[in-house]
Structure 1
């Protein structure tokens, strides 16, 4: 019977390892290179206690001395001390995916692990509820997502517009982006929601810096708490992406967006009435096939 639960146990172990790493890194001022190493370790949470400094450097795309400096920045004498600590707090290595799984199945298993990690993070709903209050209180809600994040931003904006009075999708870069942020601020916006996924466009980072300078509170759904957008974000909501296929898979960020929508509906007093009014209009227009 134990074999039937091996996959579930492995994903739970991976989620737990990632949460422990996130907690270890919190509160430290890390350089961009060090954030890259931290991000890599979170994505490879189950393997992290067993990686050599050379292996970790290769995976993160940095130099071996950078890994050593990263460990020292976390308060350890060096990387061996960091690795011993990780082994002490997580002595049992998560079981690897069975060899019988093909690459597509492995990608699915990775996404299941990402969703398990998100579920563990949502045990504390306070950040979600805080974001929802900010969205509900803002007369205008700009939603930013460029390139790989366009779909997540558009999906959120589509549903949010059914309950929020003024949702503005910002899905095109260029010189007009700052103008549209300015327009949202003039119309009363107090917060901006950003979906940021790898590879992170420089325009997104610049737009978030501009938005904060304009007085907006920035809430960001990103693939990691150590993503480049973190330094221009007031409230970071991480949700890992899958990297097993040619293009990243983003089930966890999508689900987190829906969770934010649910919380925003709870925070908007007229949300239910707005949904019922839309349903009535849709029925009158024959909008959907039943």
Structure 2
């Protein structure tokens, strides 16, 4: 059964995540769900037409989404959000331009992440699982390759054997098998939209081999939830042509911090790296 950060924690974001958890949502429905989580305080003031326009979907899609969640219609969903969300007062000021709005969305996503991290136990648990895995495979394909690569780069400085899996294809399962046969006990996956089908297949295979799958995803309603043992959600921004991933990237660094706390020789490894870097004059500062 998948665990999720904040699933039982306080706050509107956590309760909305709980509403979506375990449901198979379409891509359009996931887009609406992302908006509700990020802008819960504003939703009680929006009509179904306004919500549809702000999320780039049709008005009937909003109604079908509400019904899929068990409400009679959008009015019931809006009332539910009003009950759990903090009261917000609409502003009469000039609207943000699209660039400012994208930045504001990332700020809101980070605030939501801070709320979910009020209970640090899931991240600390994930840190211990990953720290104990020798080797540690880190999976991220397509849009998720960059955050996975960044995480692996820093983790290599404190963990003795990190194996980055950032290319798909027929060799991916072979590399997962090789890590498992070498002694790996856990796998970390970055799963951000759009979600490649082969990521789902790879995670299903990893769990079948006995690996514990920890996933950083864009929400507990992401398609990878059913294939993860521990899911750590962080919303992405969808206001620009391509998604922005400030919150998932920061969550990766928070997870690495938890890993460092579980690695008794992390500080010694960092000092060794700094000594080697100084001897080789790697950096100018």
TM-score (norm 1): 0.84
Alignment partners' CA distance in 1, 2:20 and 2:25: 13
Structure with higher helix content? 1
In structure 1, the partner of 2:128 is: 133
Deviation digits for residues 202-248 of structure 1 (CA, Å, limit 9, x no counterpart): 11111111111111111111111111111101111111111222211
Q: Report how far residue 257 of structure 1 moved.
A: 0.7
Give a deviation string over 1:57-87, Cα, whole Å, max 9, x none: 7745674663353232xxx455433322222
* Cα distance change of structure 1 residues 248 and 63 upon mapping to structure 2, 3 Å threshold: closer
Distance 1:78 1:170 in 2: 43
Q: Mark the runs of 5 or more structure 2 residues left unpaired by the alignment.
A: 1-9
CA distance in 1, matches of 2:91, 2:14: 19
| SS class of match (2:69) | helix
Unaligned runs of 5+ in 1: 1-14
Question: What does 1:83-98 correspond to in 2, within 5 Å?
Answer: 83-90=78-85, 92-93=87-88, 95=90, 98=93
Match of 2:7 in 1: none
SS state at 2:216 partner: strand
CA 97–129 in structure 1, closer or farther in 2 if over 3 Å, else same: farther
User: Which residue number corresponds to residue 153 of structure 1?
Assistant: 148
| 1:120 to partner: Cα distance | 0.9
1:175 equivalent to 2:170? Answer yes
Task: Indicate if the aligned counterparts of 1:33 and 1:66 stay in contact, CA closer than 8 A.
Answer: no
What are the Cα deviations for residues 26-84 of structure 1, in whole angstroms up to 9, with x where unaligned?
5xx42333963544532443343344556667745674663353232xxx455433322
CA distance in 2 between partners of 1:254 and 1:170 (Å):
17
TM-score by length of 2: 0.85
The 1:159–1:174 alpha-carbon spacing in structure 2 relative to 1, beyond 3 Å, is same
| 2:217 alignment partner in structure 1 | 222
Q: Work out whether 1:240 is the aligned partner of 2:235.
A: yes
CA RMSD of aligned residues (A): 2.5
Please tell me whether the aligned partners of residues 143 and 153 of structure 1 are also in contact (alpha carbons under 8 angstroms).
Answer: yes
> What residue in structure 2 maps to residue 71 of structure 1?
69
- Does 1:42 pair with 2:42? no
Query: Is 1:117 matched with 2:112?
Result: yes
Aligned with 1:18: secondary structure? Answer: helix
1:183 shift after superposition: 0.5
Distance 2:177 2:12 in 1: 42
Q: Which has the higher contact order (CA 8 A, sep 6+)?
A: 2
User: 1:195–1:115: structure 2 CA closer, same or farther, 3 Å change rule?
Assistant: same
In structure 2, what is the Cα distance between the partners aligned to 1:86 and 1:39? 13
